[in-house]
Amino acid sequence: MHTQLEVILSQARATRVDTPAQLEALKAGLLGPNGSLTVLTRGLGQLPKEERPEAGQRINRTKEAVQQYLEACQERIASADLEVKLGAPISDPSLPAPTPFGGVHPLIKVRDEILSILASIGFVSVIGPEIDRAHFCFDALNTPKDHPARSPSDTYYFPSDTRIHGLFTEKDEPVALRPHTSSVQIRVMLERQAPLRVVSPGRCFRRDTADATHTSNFHQIEGLYVDKNVSVLDLKSTLDYLFRKLLGPKTQVRFRPHFFPFTEPSFEVDLKADHLGKVGQEWIEIMGCGMVDPQVLRAVDYDPETLSGFAFGMGVERIAMILYGVEDIRHFYTNDLRFLNQFS
Ligand code: PHE
């Protein structure tokens, strides 16, 4: 009888009671006409006479304990009920709406990651204007007047009579939404003397029809290092270091000869990162780079006889797509929370 009572009590206390119905069911199971304690009380008569008083007392003590537990449950249910009722004013339109925490946009995450790796090897960040003169976007970068990138079908120009505060143009000089961050190379070199090691992130614009890999607005990170005796080896090892830090030590980087008006020699850089799943299995073109063309150094009054440098420019979206396995660049701009929430 003793253990039976203990079992009944501990089972009762272990029963989940969150609603009035559950409370009633538990009560009936213990104290109702066929409840376990009622049945035991009824069975008292069958016990030997001398055992009855003690057994009776034990049953009563268990009933009291059960009763206490049932009352505690009752109170808990009542206060939970009250909380729900008190919680109701959440729907009061005069209260401020609960604001979910925002997250960092994946492009900003990737940009900051790249900048912090480059900062660790001495590249200081500078910001240039998104609207810039043809001089900085093209001419000082050794880009001839008939270069296809200068055509209005590639680059967005402002109407010729537009005056932009703070931007002083030569007579008849076009002003554009910059098509690349290379314009910042010129601005930095005009302001500072070598040696310099800078990186410039920012938004660029090209007249591209949107598809899975193009949008008319995108982001680049430009790098520039000018000093004595800078070589292609410095360029290659800087990019090797950057991409191994960013994408993992197994990442491979290769150079392919290319042409840019402002670097000589010029390269396109391909990446391979097998460990990044499907996107990493093949060589992917990732960015352009090269040794700063002597013509560019002359345009900013640097002496190409004593100075040399390298420059590179990479698309942030492209790297984010590889890093996160995103198959369509437009996901970065449509602000669908189902997409964005995966990065915060
Ligand atoms: N500006 C080039 C582009 O947008 C990239 C680049 C930057 C190439 C610096 C060489 C050096 O394609």
Whether 146 has a pLDDT exceeding 90, the answer reads yes
Does 131 share its domain with 230? yes
pLDDT given for residue 6 in this prediction = 85
Does 77 share its domain with 126? no
Residue nearest to atom 4 of ligand 1 (CA): 180
Does 235 share its domain with 273? yes
Q: Count how many domains the chain has.
A: 2
- Where is pLDDT greater, at 302 or 160? 302
Q: Identify whether the C-beta of residue 324 lies closer than 8 Å to the C-beta of residue 343.
A: yes
**pLDDT digits 0-9 by tens, 35-82:** 888 988 888 888 888 888 888 898 999 999 989 999 988 888 888 777
Q: How far is the CA of 263 from the centre of ligand 1 (A)?
A: 9
Q: How far is the CA of 6 from the centre of ligand 1 (A)?
A: 81
d(CA 246, CA 206): 27
pTM: 0.73
The domain in which residue 324 lies consists of: 106-343
Does 111 share its domain with 243? yes
Q: Give the mean model confidence (pLDDT) for residues 110-119.
A: 98
CATH code for the domain in which residue 150 is found: 3.30.930.10
Q: How far is it between the farthest Cα atoms of the chain?
A: 121
**pLDDT digits 0-9 by tens, 283-342:** 989 999 999 999 999 999 999 999 999 999 999 999 999 889 899 999 999 999 999 999
Residue 91 lies inside a defined structural domain of this protein: no
| Residue in the structure block whose two tokens are 């009590």 | 9
- For the chain, give me the number of helices (H) and strands (E)? 11, 9
Does 156 share its domain with 237? yes
- Which of 36, 51, 86 is a domain's end point? 86
Residue 119 lies inside a defined structural domain of this protein: yes
Q: Give the mutation target among 155, 258, 260 for probing the ligand 1 site: most ligand atoms within 8 A of CB.
A: 260
Give the atom of ligand 1 at the shortest distance from the alpha carbon of 312: 9
Q: Pull the structure tokens for residue 197.
A: 């090691």
Residue 169 lies inside a defined structural domain of this protein: yes
- Which of 53, 86, 119 is a domain's end point? 86
Residue 100 lies inside a defined structural domain of this protein: no
Does 191 share its domain with 52? no
Q: How far is the CA of 202 from the centre of ligand 1 (A)?
A: 13
d(CA 250, CA 90): 52
**pLDDT digits 0-9 by tens, 176-192:** 999 999 999 999 999 99
Does 219 share its domain with 74? no
Least confident of 162-166, 240-244, 258-262, 332-336: 162-166
Q: How far is the CA of 220 from the centre of ligand 1 (A)?
A: 9
Residue 94 lies inside a defined structural domain of this protein: no
